[in-house]
Amino acid sequence: MATVAYNGTTGVADPGYSADVPDLNIFYDTGHMTFIAISSLLVLLMIPGVGFFYSGLARRKSALQLVLLSMLSVAVIGFQWFFWGYSLTFSRTGNSFLGDLSQFGLMKTLAQPNGSSAMPDILFCLYQGMFAAITPALAIGAVADRGRMLPAIVFMFIWSTAVYDPIAYWTWNANGWLAKLPSYDFAGGGPVHVSSGACALAYSLMLGKRAGYTSNAGLPYRPHSVTNVLLGTVFLWVGWFGFNGGSALSMNLRAIMACYVTHLAASCAGIAWVLLDYRLERKWSTIGFCSGAIAGLVAITPAAGFVPTWAAVIIGVAGGVCCNFATKLKFLLGVDDALDIFAVHGVGGMVGNLLTGIFGASWIADLDGSSHAPIGWIEGNWIQLGYQLAGTCAAFAWSFGLSCLILFLMNLVPGMSLRVTAEDEDVGIDDCQLGEFAYDYVEIKRHFADAGVSLSASASSASSTHEKAPKEVV
């Protein structure tokens, strides 16, 4: 622990020099700071993991776009968070709905504690900035196979400011209305997952369906690289230890418990999804396992610092099962959510938020040395499920509504049309928007026999001979 209690200005933005000490480091334990710094790097690692995961699920000729957009999210939100995002989300003098600009451009942001007594402001800013960067990266996968780059980049900046920052403020800032209820969310079920899932649903709706979607039973293309999906899953699974564990905001037993239940829920969800898929085709699906593991990680995120280990099994299985069946919602809604972002992140975040209200336990939350009132149903706090539902509905409604509005208005601006032309979609997003390719050739033709679509005998014969037509890239 720190050897000296912080004695400078609190409650308003202040760089910490008001403490009037020769060395500001005396207020902080290097072990806690090291843990949060490493957790920040782990969350950063998750962002290219998202890119690889999405890229593997997409078509070969549009694979590179999704990797690039995930990294552009790091850069765009890195600036936005410095510019005003951090101040809007974690300023100390905001109202119940949004922060102010007292820390605009990170002014007066250095050594005053924020988040917890173990973290200086600038470290808290670094860590939370990674959350701000990964959230639009999760949502922007909705552009798969048909979305233009420039509007997607502009949208990330606007959406983070208008959607992510307010929801994160409501949830995690002590002045936020959800924090005051309280609606418990340990690491981002609402601000990260429900909001990104709702955004992806809105983006998919506003973009329209991919060419061939309806005529091919809603299943025009298989994932082009299962290996990339598996690689992305590994990055995400490893990074999630920093995502959830670091949300304890110091190195303590609560952080360790959060890491353990995160791993356990992912394992149980992966098994649940695989078994659900096996019952249909009698085959063990790698894509199914990866999707299930991610669903479990999403579901445990809001609950990680509140639930005992046995509850993680229930949350993992429930997350895997609910997200698996939620992949069918896009057919009922008629929305081409190409990468099932809403099904996995939106529905997974909802499941986790609600189950936190049932299985949340004060003795788990107290493992960081704090003191909490009874949290969930297992402690007789029946109203908590209602508070969790309020947080979930607020995050979904705000994100979906504003995302649709932002995209509608952007599409009216000259040069900001959301979708590529039909000709460019046929050529491939990597070719028409990037001029680069993920591989040295791109797939431009494939038959649909594996999707259960009947072909004429001649067409079937031709496609079996030339299933893939390589395009040389010089």
Average pLDDT, the chain: 91
Please tell me the distance from the alpha carbon of residue 43 to that of residue 473, in angstroms, as a whole number: 34
* Band of residue 220 on the pLDDT scale cut at 50, 70, 90: low
- The separation between the first and the last C-alpha atoms of the chain, rounded to the nearest angstrom, is 59
| Model pLDDT for residues 226-250, shown as the tens digit of each residue | 999 999 999 999 999 999 999 999 9
Domain 45-419: CATH superfamily, name plus number: Ammonium transporter AmtB like domains (1.10.3430.10)
Q: What share of the chain is helix, strand, coil (3-state, %, to 5)?
A: 65, 0, 30
Residue type, 217: A
217 neighbors 453 (Cβ within 8 angstroms): yes
319 neighbors 351 (Cβ within 8 angstroms): yes
The 10 Å CB-count burial string (b at 16+, else e) for 60-86 is bbbbbbbbbbbebbbebbeebbbbbbb
Please tell me the distance from the alpha carbon of residue 137 to that of residue 77, in angstroms, as a whole number: 10
Predicted pLDDT at 218: 58
353: left (phi over 0), alpha (psi -120 to 50) or beta: alpha
Whether 2 shows a pLDDT value over 60: the answer reads no
Domain boundary assignment for the chain: 45-419
Predicted pLDDT at 439: 86
| Model pLDDT for residues 79-104, shown as the tens digit of each residue | 999 999 999 999 999 999 999 999 99
Residue 370 CB neighbours (<10 A)? 11
